[in-house]
Amino acid sequence: MVTQADCSIAFKKEAAYGTAVAVDRFLEFTSETLDLDRAYHQGENMRPGTRVARSQKRILTREGAAGDITQEVQTKGFGALFELAFGVASAWTEIAVDAGVFQSVFTLAKDDFLPSATIQKGVPRLPTATTPGGVDAFTFAGCQVSSIEFEMSSEGVLTMTTSWIGGRAVDTLTPYVPSAGKYPEGCELFSFVDASLVLGGTITMPTSTSLSTGGTVAGNIRECSLSVDQALDDNGRNMGGGGARSRPGAVGLAEITGSLTVEYDTTLITEAVLEQQGLALVLTFEGPTEIGISGLRPVVQIVVPEIKLEGDLPKSNGGDVITHSSDFVGLDPLVAGQEPIYLVYRSADLVL
């Protein structure tokens, strides 16, 4: 027996692009829009006696899939997803001072192609008078993360939306992989209560076992968002490929963007906007419960060594506290050995 709430999404990294693998990673999600990404051509040749386009002249010209998955980020289970989104993951390393705590640092790929994954979503079907309800499987091979966005709102939790492109036809014949017992256990969420933000100052870059430190802690940020667009190309549909992509999407010039909502209690941000100052940005989200033996907690930390702000000037607010929004772009500081963005994931997971 199933209910309409028994939806699932599972994935697994592929060894070869577009060659489907059996999914084994299940993660909870709040919404998804995975769907067909097809194109059709309707013949336009004229013929006496017909006023409506003819059925035989409608054909498929493009095959694929696309859509978004939105999730509340959890303290376990997200390492493999971060690798797909960024492209490069350092080794999943146990922190020497704290047995049972592992960490990896994710950075942007420097090769043409990001890794790909097979995704299977399970969709429950209502029963009829003669047919019991069940879960139907839709399997998408050759899926790549085209962009990823993080959001933290006041009094909220850290959410993440991944946008996917799939280069193969949807498969409805692969059996549904049951999700029971396959979700990571002991997961918690990253709350606004345990979030902090560094804006400006001098920071140290994270390593495989340490977080970024230093900088100027900002105490006036209500909300923040950050996104990375990998600028994947939409080509690779070549003759002989049946309308599907014969290769993965190739990366373009990545864009790092975001926004801050600020209570107006300092001119730091307005001065940075007006003078186009480069500032370091570090977003740190800690889990609520200690792991390991020395009091460390799970962490998602996003480090952008240099951003430039493109914000609005503060405006009157009818007597209420004045806030203003400031968009920003992340840039390559061109410092030897330094990446334009890092994501650090610290967890009690035993594997990435």
pLDDT of the residue at 128: 84
The percent helix, strand, coil of the chain (3-state, each to 5) is 5, 40, 55
**Residue given tokens 């990404």 in the structure block:** 37
Q: Which of 62, 88, 73, 93 is nearest to 234 (CA)?
A: 62
CA 5 to chain centre: 23
pLDDT of the residue at 281: 97
Torsion of CA 191, 224, 72, 211, to 10 degrees: -70
pLDDT of the residue at 228: 98
Every domain of the chain and the residues it spans:
8-43+58-347
pLDDT of the residue at 311: 78
Instruction: Please tell me the distance from the alpha carbon of residue 1 to that of residue 135, in angstroms, as a whole number.
Output: 9
Stretches where the chain sits below pLDDT 50 are none
Instruction: Please tell me the distance from the alpha carbon of residue 263 to that of residue 241, in angstroms, as a whole number.
Output: 54
Convert 275-284 to b/e letters by CB count within 10 Å (16 or more is b).
Answer: eeeebbbbbb
pLDDT of the residue at 65: 96
Could you give the maximum distance between any two Cα atoms of the chain, in Å?
A: 83
Residues in the chain: 352
Three-class secondary structure of residue 274 per DSSP = helix
- Secondary structure (DSSP) of 3-27: -TT--EEEEEE-SSTT------EE-
DSSP code for 183 = S
pLDDT of the residue at 295: 84
Instruction: Please tell me the distance from the alpha carbon of residue 186 to that of residue 181, in angstroms, as a whole number.
Output: 13
By the 8 A CB rule, do 297 and 290 touch? yes
Instruction: Please tell me the distance from the alpha carbon of residue 130 to that of residue 132, in angstroms, as a whole number.
Output: 7
Q: What is the pLDDT of residues 259-291, one digit of tens each?
A: 999 888 888 888 888 889 999 999 999 999 999
Whole-model pTM? 0.94
